[in-house]
Amino acid sequence: MDYKKKIAELINIEGVSADEIFGMLAFPKDLSMGDYCLPCFKFAGKLRKAPVMIANELKDGIDLSKNTWLEKVESVAGYLNFTLNKSDYADKIIGKILSDGENYGKSDMGKGKTVCIDYSSVNIAKPFHIGHLSTTVIGAALYRIYKALGYEVVGINHLGDWGTQFGKLISAFKRWGNKEDIEKRGIKALFEIYVRFHSEEKENPALADEGRAWFKKIEDGDKEATELFSFFREVTLKEVEKLYERLGVKFDSYCGESFYNDKMQPVLDELEQKGLLTESEGAKVVNLDSYDMPPCLLVKADGATLYATRDMAAAFYRKQTYDFDKCLYVVAYQQNLHFKQWFKVVELMEKEWYKDLVHVAFGMVSLEDGAMSTREGRVVFLEEVLDKAVKKAGDIINEKNPNLKDKEKISEQVGVGAVVFSALCNNRIKDIVFNFDKVLNFDGETAPYLQYTTARCNSVIEKAGESDLVPDYSGVTSAVGAELINVLSRFSQVVKDSAEKYEPSFVTRYLLNVAGLYNKFYFEHKIITDDKNIQQARLNLTKATRTVLKNGLALLGIQAPERM
């Protein structure tokens, strides 16, 4: 039963449709006030009555004897509050969750629509560090969330594989590199010579010219330069793929910056034809003075293109290739101006789809003693973070449950889950100061807490065994039981809200609420009890809780071990 729809159909206000009522129905902040509420303030002007009077009249017009699924309807300070029949509600909600199983929370609202998501976008020959964590796991969570809502989703890793730094890396490799060492140690070996180059460049500025010369050779298709460039790319992708696998992250496209080398000119030509491209000190720009923004620089005086040029070429290519309904860019808020500028340029080109380009900004990650810098070698490798988290998880398991089967596998699931959750548990725009102790804290509002609650559900279900008894849902209608069921019923809406606001933290906060309520219910009520019909109801609630926790964790890319 769609309770919101049923309530909307009960309300009869001249000139206001059931659909409008449906859209106005909300959840009270305090569940003691009811399960749904209708604010009557918007009707005051139309009906020329005070909201309190309107709520009272609407209340009097509802016959509870004909609507036994309602327990009571109350008028409170201009709100009409609806309290559902708790046993009936529990039966319907828990039955729905158990029937849908792993599909609970999913919908087909996005059917026929395509969303492109640009995330992670690692740089070739540079380490996958903790600063890449947010874009990677936020983007991957949004990928799964949109998939769950029926959208066709295209995950894009816009590789940073172009620029003078690659000429510098070739110069560094020619001076101090060793192919066998790089094949053995991967990105760390490349990282070392890259950092050394920038250190020595300070004393010997001529190295910068040498780096630019090697990059020119890459642009010109020089055999040695392109072979080394391809080697660096291969080494990088091989290594980051291992990390993506650990994180449960996937992509449908690895088209990086270099892919758009031959796709920028048509965009520049169109800008020229429309009179949007102007010269400024030898460079080509789009003037944005009218929009309180600096000019969008697209071609430098020496003819070199920039990030904005490539991003525009990529957007045109994606529109042509995927005909997206939305194209999301999961990039730190430091790039706010960059996206505002070239989004505006696309709008000035009179492309209607400019409004479908969305910068999903997130906060920066820094170390406790300052910002990270790849050039200076100040980074925390993500692989090391994951390894430390997994080790700590293993230590805790050995201490608390030494006989647990598959300890290594579960330690990996718990440790990696803790790190992923750390980047998703708060509003994405919040800055993060990376601290090992905080990230690896397994108490409180963490992924291990959610995983442990799921494992507790499994343990209860296994201990009770299966039965086909008719559940007596009066056994789950206590204050905490009713609140838990009410919250479980909202999962689908939380998933939709997460997609609408591009905010995976809605799911993380929701799951913490579910786990907290279930654990409270668990401690206040015996699940396995003498009244087997009551026991069946409580077991069904436990199964429903487990389903929602597992489904929610799956959206975040976090696995739920059967036992812990």
> What is the per-residue pLDDT across 520-544, written as a single tens digit (0 to 9) for each?
999 999 999 999 999 999 999 999 9
Residue 42 belongs to some domain of the structure = yes
Given 4, 126, 158, 284, which residue is catalytic? 126
What is the C-alpha end-to-end distance of the chain, expressed in Å?
A: 36
Calculate what percentage of the chain has a pLDDT beyond 70: 97
Whether residue 263 lies in the annotated active site: no
Whether residue 184 lies in the annotated active site: no
**Which amino acid is present at 535?**
Q
Question: What's the Cα-to-Cα distance from 153 to each of 23, 249, 539, rounded to whole Å?
Answer: 27, 13, 36
Calculate what percentage of the chain has a pLDDT beyond 90: 72
Residue 447 belongs to some domain of the structure = no
Asked if the model's pLDDT at residue 503 lies above 80, the reply is yes
- pLDDT digit string, tens, across residues 281-332: 899 999 999 999 999 999 988 887 889 999 999 999 999 999 999 999 999 9
pLDDT band at 441 (very low <50, low <70, confident <90, very high): low
Q: What is the pLDDT of residue 186?
A: 87
For the entire predicted model, the pTM comes to 0.89
* Highest mean predicted confidence (pLDDT) among 8-17, 212-221, 329-338: 329-338
Q: What is the pLDDT of residue 290?
A: 96
Residue 510 belongs to some domain of the structure = no
Look at the alpha carbons of 53, 57, 60, 66 in this order and tell me if their dihedral is positive or negative. Answer: negative
| Span 359-366, average pLDDT | 88
Range of the domain at 45: 3-84
| Span 252-258, average pLDDT | 91
Number of folded domains that form the chain: 1
| Span 476-501, average pLDDT | 95
297 Cβ contact partners less than 8 Å away, ≥ 6 residues apart: 283, 284, 285, 306, 308
Cα separation, 496 vs 481, in Å, equals 25
Residue 22 belongs to some domain of the structure = yes
- pLDDT digit string, tens, across residues 159-198: 988 888 888 999 999 999 989 999 998 888 998 898 899 8
- pLDDT digit string, tens, across residues 48-61: 999 999 999 999 99
Asked if the model's pLDDT at residue 373 lies above 60, the reply is no
If you write DSSP's letter for every residue of 2-19 in order, what string do you get?
-HHHHHHHH--BTTB-HH
pLDDT band at 376 (very low <50, low <70, confident <90, very high): low
Residue 258 belongs to some domain of the structure = no
Given 92, 129, 359, 392, which residue is catalytic? 129
pLDDT band at 130 (very low <50, low <70, confident <90, very high): confident
Whether residue 158 lies in the annotated active site: no
Q: Are 104 and 551 in contact (CB under 8 A)?
A: yes
Residue 101 belongs to some domain of the structure = no
CATH number at residue 24: 3.30.1360.70
Asked if the model's pLDDT at residue 272 lies above 60, the reply is yes
pLDDT band at 564 (very low <50, low <70, confident <90, very high): confident
- pLDDT digit string, tens, across residues 74-100: 999 999 999 999 999 999 999 999 999
